[in-house]
Structures are given as structure tokens and as C-alpha cells.
Amino acid sequence: MAEQLVELNVTGMHCNNCAMSVHKLLEKKGLQNILVSFASEEVKFSTADQSILPSVINDIESLGFHVVEDAATHQTPFYDKVENKFFFCALFTAPLLLHMVLPWHFLHSPIVQLILCLPVFIVGCLHFGKSAYGSLKGGVPNMDVLIFIGSTSAFVYSLTGTIQNLGEQYLFYETCATIITLVLLGNVLEKRSVNQTTSAVKALMKFQEVSANRLVTDGVEVVNAKDIAAGDILLVNEGGQVPVDGDILSGEASINEAIITGESIPVQKKKYDSVIGGTIVQQGNIKIIATKVGSNSTLAQIIDLMKRAQAAKPPVQKLGDKVAAVFVPVVVLIALLTFVITYFATNTGLQNSMLHAIAVLVISCPCAMGLATPTAVMVGLGRAAKNGILIKGGDTIEAVTDTKYVIFDKTGTLTTGKFSVQDIKPEGGFDIEAIRGVIVAIEERSNHPIAKSLIDGLKGLSKQKVILRTITEEKGLGMRAEDVEGNSYFLGTAKAGADDGYNLSLYKNQKLTAQIAVDDTLKPDALALITSLKKMGIKPVLLSGDKAGRCASVAKTLGITEVHAEKLPDEKLAVVDVYRKKGKTLMIGDGINDAPALTQADVGVSMNDASHIAIQSAKVILLNTDMRSVVTFLQISRHTLLTIKQNLFWAFAYNIVAIPVAALGFLNPMVGALTMAFSDVIVIGNSLRLKVKKV
């Protein structure tokens, strides 16, 4: 029996560790082609036996996740939204913290503190407990395990002190509540970042949600693009969007294919030519027959490429999560050893043995570790924003460490996307002034973008006026004209064999008169950026859907040696993958055709004037026009990561000293709380230093 692809919508996965837990579960069941994306809430796998599906769904839900019919229509219950959990916990945590500064005696009461802490603790147990259990079951322990142990041990320690009336030095309710509330805030920020990333695919899907004019026996009916079948005859008018892939049966049109190829110059299409769904008819009207519809269309395949690129990324675990995998079992083992040795070797009784063991867990509470990464990231992201750089998520900062390649799209990234006349090369015996006059006279009758560029560039320079008697446009070729003296002219696309870089030719009476080079202009700071990257030991690469000649010209001007031209979206994806295998890779682009490649790269960087899709796909958006901000982004990222490492050192240095002291029973809980707070102050202070640090 042939294997079939199964797609499930799974909600509740809020980190890569969640996705890894599901992945390991499906691997154990022997399923093939497994693809799990926590960002898009999708789980895919292949199986020949459809009868195992109910048991697979039950096992996924036993990890604490939910399988839903349609993720788009699924409504998360009010009480299950992480934002509502955070606000609820903050409401109870605030008075617990205020008891340390306000002279309100009732806030010092252990019972009042217990009543305030209990709702927060219950929310924390349900939220982090589920994630901790799932990560342990999947064999990938995360920071939630530490948060759960830390908050629970602080609560149990405090509850013991309250029940036995041991005094204020045994109350850690505010520690328990603060840990839970702060980490929930981090989850809220992470969720918002994830939502921005996943909206890229949703935005692409909107291009599929268009109506189409379908020819039927009694006229024309308007249908949704999803309802079009292969073989349907469709009418597409000027200004309209081609609904599906097809072949032209009649008519001619100038079609903007930038969504697919990245080429900003419209392409002339005539009878029997192929058209692609999602492209725009700028001029003309065409009748097409649908050939590729649904999941077979080019646009649908780009969407699938993006989803796969997102899901296939190796998960970038936070440094804290990496360490937690070792730290959690070590701390639990030390606490158990403390209990056993204290109980059996010192005969201090069950109560003291328990308190010593819990003291170890309280002291090793991962508050400083929990703050180490987010505080540095927040300061780093803030500094980047002041420099006009929007970075989505702290993982991006880690992902750009030791970048070896920066891949650039050409049009709209290194160039402005606005066309201008680069050069006019007259043939022997022909006057440049006369040539300019003929070009302006002919192109004034055309609406083509290149024609407008020629007029804008030459009108002020043209001294000789040429009077034309007739003029006709040959679609896809150029313009033919005849002046009042009977001379015939042709201005159009350069024929094969013309000088490289010259893309237009002018003929007078069938004789070549001039060759014209028209291209989009380089951005003024592009050369400075490429030079800076080379100094940093990073290799620039040009990857474009544009013609090889134009790409080679741009690369030569900027000093880029590695060039990949005339690449379609799936080919761009393959090129990015090759460079990723050689080293850390950044991709900088601005078009929808760049979206899969931006997602596939270690980090995608989008221009501020880019298409909405590229912006949503990229992890970094340059909000200003200065391209050198790419270098600023790399430098800020490097120093932010350095700060995270310093913070983790201080957080662990505290634990390395405090845990043995607590295990030996020498640490007073009040001193423990003070040193814990001191480690937090060091971590936050070091992070704030990043605001003014020279990068």
C-alpha cells in the first residue's frame, strides 16, 4: 500500500523543544518524512497505515498539546492564553513584591503572602509543569523544568515555614511568584515574535484568494481561484491578477512577474506563452486555459517551500536551555544527596534534612539564569532599534554568530529598482545628438517602464527634434517608426551577439545606429557595505532572478566574485542551502520570490521598502535606507551574545559557590535570598552596560 502524507494542526507548541518532543514521539512510532513546525503549528508525516492515526493523535495530546481541525478557525480559550496568564499572575505578584518596601504590616503576614502566591503558583504549575513534563518525556529537558523545580521548591519551603511558624526567614513566596510572572512575560514576547514569522505564509496565501472570470456556455461567471479546475478557460483583464498557472489562448499582455522571478521589468506575453498565478497584467487583456491549479501551482509550491524551510531549520536552543539539560539532573541529584547524607549521617531529623535539601533547590533557583538571556537580548534589540534595525526574536542574535556568507538579492537590495540610461554607444558615422532625438521621439509614444526611463534620462539632453509620421508597437520586440523624410527606425531589445550589458538597439533603415545600456542604479552605500563585510572576513554573494549580464555588471562594480543569476525561488533555496552547509549564512532580499530563501538562510534580512511577504519572512528588517546598518546589526549581535555568555557565567558562578554551602547546611536562607538577589543585580547591570558599550 502506498504511503500517504498526513497533515495535522497542533496547538500548544511554544518552543523548539516542544517540536522536538513531538518529533521524537513520531520517530519512535516508525513514521517517515516527519516535519514538525511549532511556528506554523503543523505536524506532517507519511504512513501507509491510516488506521494508526487516532493513536498518534492521542499520543501527541498526552504530551500536553492539542490536535485541532483547522488552526485558522481554532479559538484559544480565554484562560489558556499566555497573555491572560501573565496579567493574572502580575496582579498577585505586585503586592508580594511591595511588602518589602511598603510599611503595610498585613502584607508581612505569612497567610496573606500564601493567599497571594497560591493562584500564581497554580497557574505556574499548570503552564510550566505541562511543558516540563513534555520535555522530559521527549528526552529534551528545557528551562521550564528549572522554572518548575525552582518555583515549586520555593513554594514548598515557604509553605513549610508557614505551617510550622518558623518566621519570616523561611518565606520565599515573592521569589516563587516573581519567577513565574517574569518567565510568562518572556513567553508573551516570544509568542508575538513567532506570530510575526508565521504570518508570512498567511500573507502569501492571500495571493491565492482572488476571484477569476471563467468562460461558460452562456457568458462569463466570477469564481474563486480555489474552484478553478485544469482545462477551464479564463479571462484576465488589464490590472488584474492571473488567478492560476495557464497558457494564453488569445490576446497579448505585459505581465509583471516580480512575485516569482524578482525581475522588475514586465515581460511581454503572446499566444501559446505560459503565465503564472499571482502575477499582474500591467497592460493588455488575455484569454488563458488553466494548466496547474491547487497544490500544483507555482505559488502553492512557493508556499510549501516556505513551510518546509521553516520546519527544516535546526532548532537554535537558547544557551540557558542547553545548560539546563545538564544543570537540572545535577541539582536534583545534589538535593537528594543532601537529604540522604543529612538524614542518615547527622541524625538531624526528617524536618532539617528536608529543609536542607529544599534549601539547595531554592539557592539553585534559576532566577539569574532566567534573566541572563532575556535582559541582554532586550537591551541588544533596543539598541538595534535605535539604529533603525528591527530584529525578530532573541534567537536571531545567536544565529548570526560567526557569519561566513552574506547573500544579496540584486534588484531593490543592492540596486534601487529604478531604471536609468547607463550608456549610449553610437555606431560609426552616426551623431549622438540625432540618436537622442530619435529615441525620445519614439519612446514618447510608449508606456513601457524602460521607455519612461529613456525619456527621463534623455529629454533634457536631446537637442534635435525628430518628427515622426507613423509609429507602431510590436509586442515583446520594440517600436517601429517612420519620419516625415521616409526614414524607417526600429528601437527594441538587443539581438543575440550584441555587446554584453547593452540591452537595447536602435536601427535606421535596417542599419545598426546605436546600442543602449539601461539598468537600475546601484544604491550609494552598497560599495561601502561590501567593503566592510570583506574587512570582517565575510564573503558577499550575489543571488538574483535577473539576467546574467546585469548581475555580472553589478558584481564587477561592487567587487563580488561569487554570482548566481537567473534563479527561480526553488533554485535560490538550493543555492542558500549549499552555502549554509559551508558556514553561517545571511540572506538579504526584498521580493516575494526571496521569501523561501530568506526563511531557509540562518538569518533572513529584509529591506524596509520590501514587499510585505519578504518583511514577514525575514528575521531582521532594516528600517532605514543606510545599508551599512547590516554591519551594525552584526556588531550589536556579537556584543549581545558576549553579554549573554558573561551573564550566564555570573549566574553559574553564584550557583557553584552557593549550592555546596547550602548542601553543607552553612547557608542561612536570608543570606541565600540576598546573594540570589545580588546575582540578579549583577546580571541586569551587565546587560544595561550594553546600552552605552562601544560596538
Q: What is the pLDDT of residues 133-173, one digit of tens each?
A: 777 776 766 667 767 877 888 788 788 888 887 777 677 78
Residue 549, pLDDT > 50, answer yes
Provide mean pLDDT across the span 171-179: 80
pLDDT of residue 605: 87
According to DSSP H, which parts of 464-568 are helical?
526-535, 548-558
pLDDT at residue number 613: 54
Kindly report which listed range (372-386, 513-527, 576-590) carries the lowest average pLDDT score.
Answer: 372-386
| Mean of pLDDT values over 70-80 | 69
Q: How far apart are CA 293 and CA 312, in angstroms?
A: 26
| Residue 611 in this model has a pLDDT that exceeds 80 | no
What percent of the chain has pLDDT above 70? 78
Is residue 366 within 8 A of residue 147, CB to CB? The reply is yes
Same domain, 633 and 552: yes
560 assigned to some structural domain = yes
Tell me the C-alpha distance between 526 and 531, whole Å. Answer: 9
Residues 569 and 611 in one domain: yes
What is the C-alpha separation between 444 and 451, in angstroms, rounded?
A: 7
Asked if residue 554 and residue 411 are part of one domain, the reply reads yes
Domains identified in the chain, total number: 4
Q: What is the pLDDT of residue 600?
A: 84
Q: Are residues 567 and 608 in the same domain?
A: yes
Cβ–Cβ < 8 Å for 422, 517: yes
Which range has the worst mean pLDDT, 218-227, 259-268, 457-466, 608-617? 608-617
State how far the Cα of 326 lies from the Cα of 331, in Å rounded to an integer: 9
CATH number at residue 556: 3.40.50.1000
Both 481 and 551 in one domain: the answer is no
| Predicted model pTM | 0.56
Among 49-63, 114-128, 607-621, the range with the most confident prediction by mean pLDDT is 114-128
pLDDT at 214: 93
* Structure confidence at residue 290 as a pLDDT band (50, 70, 90): very high
Q: Point out the domain boundary residue: 296, 327, 358.
A: 296
Q: How many CB atoms lie within 10 A of CB 145?
A: 26
Between 86 and 135, where is the model more confident?
Answer: 86
pLDDT of residue 316: 35
Q: Which amino acid is at 499?
A: D
Query: Which CATH number covers residue 250?
Result: 2.70.150.10
Q: How confident is the model at residue 370 (pLDDT cuts 50, 70, 90)?
A: low
C-alpha cell at 591: 521580493
Query: Residue 473 sits in a domain of what CATH number?
Result: 3.40.1110.10
Residues 512 and 565 in one domain: no
The verdict on 570 and 515 lying in the same domain is no
**What pLDDT does 251 receive?**
93
Domain stops at, among 273, 296, 319: 296
Task: Determine the pLDDT at residue 315.
Answer: 36
**400 and 532, same domain (yes or no):** yes
pLDDT higher than threshold 70 for residue 366: no
Which of 75, 99, 123 is at the close of a domain?
75
Q: Per the structure block, which three cell numbers stand in for 471?
A: 509609429
314 band by pLDDT with thresholds 50, 70 and 90:
very low
Distance, CA of 271 to CA of 325 (rounded, Å): 63
C-alpha 345/C-alpha 564 separation (Å) is 72
Query: Are 252 and 264 in a shared domain?
Result: yes
The whole-number pLDDT of residue 677 equals: 54
Looking at the domain assignment, is residue 117 inside a domain? no
DSSP codes of every residue in 633-664: HHHHHHHHHHHHHHHHHHHHHHHHHHHHHHHT
Question: What is the pLDDT at residue 279?
Answer: 86
Same domain? For 485 and 574 the reply is no
Please say if the pLDDT value at position 542 is more than 90: yes
Q: pLDDT-based confidence at 355, cuts 50/70/90?
A: low
Higher pLDDT, 349 or 50: 50
Amino acid 672 reads: G
**Section 350-365 average pLDDT:** 69
* 670 in any annotated domain: no
| pLDDT for 286 beyond 90 | yes
The whole-number pLDDT of residue 287 equals 94
| 682 domain-assigned | no
Q: Side-chain half-sphere of 114: how many Cα atoms within 13 Å?
A: 14
Residue 512 to residue 489: CA distance in whole angstroms: 10
For residue 43, the enclosing domain spans: 4-75
Cα 336 to the center of its chain, rounded Å: 43
Mean pLDDT of the chain: 79
Contacts made by residues 572-578, CB under 8 angstroms, sequence distance 24+: 572/543, 572/545, 572/596, 572/597, 573/305, 573/309, 573/597, 573/600, 575/407, 575/543, 576/407, 576/543, 576/600, 576/601
* Spatial contact of 214 and 221, defined as CB atoms under 8 Å apart: yes
**Residue 443 vs residue 251, higher pLDDT:** 251
In a domain? residue 555: yes
Question: Does residue 203 have a pLDDT over 80?
Answer: no
> Residue 90 pLDDT > 70, yes or no?
yes
403 and 529 both lie in a single domain:
yes
- pLDDT mean over 163-188: 77
Contacts of 331 (CB under 8 A, 6+ apart): 149, 360, 361, 364, 659
Instruction: State yes or no: pLDDT of 182 exceeds 60.
Output: yes
Residue 111 lies in a domain: no
- pLDDT single digits (tens) 245-263: 999 999 999 998 776 655 6
- 378 or 113, which is more confident: 113
Let me know: does 580 contact 272? Beta carbons within 8 Å: no
Per-residue model confidence (pLDDT) at position 217: 85
CATH at residue 41: 3.30.70.100
Q: Is residue 35 part of a domain?
A: yes
525 is catalytic: no
Is the domain of 240 the same as that of 258?
A: yes
CB atoms within 10 A of CB 613: 27
Q: Kindly calculate the radius of gyration of the chain based on its CA atoms and give it in whole angstroms.
A: 32
DSSP-based helix, strand, coil % in the chain, nearest 5: 50, 20, 25
Mean pLDDT of 297-301: 77
pLDDT > 90 fraction of the chain, expressed in percent and rounded: 16
pLDDT in tens, 583-600: 999 999 875 567 788 888
Out of 409, 483, 520, 594, which one is annotated catalytic? 409
For position 504, what pLDDT does the model report? 84
In a domain, 534, yes or no: yes
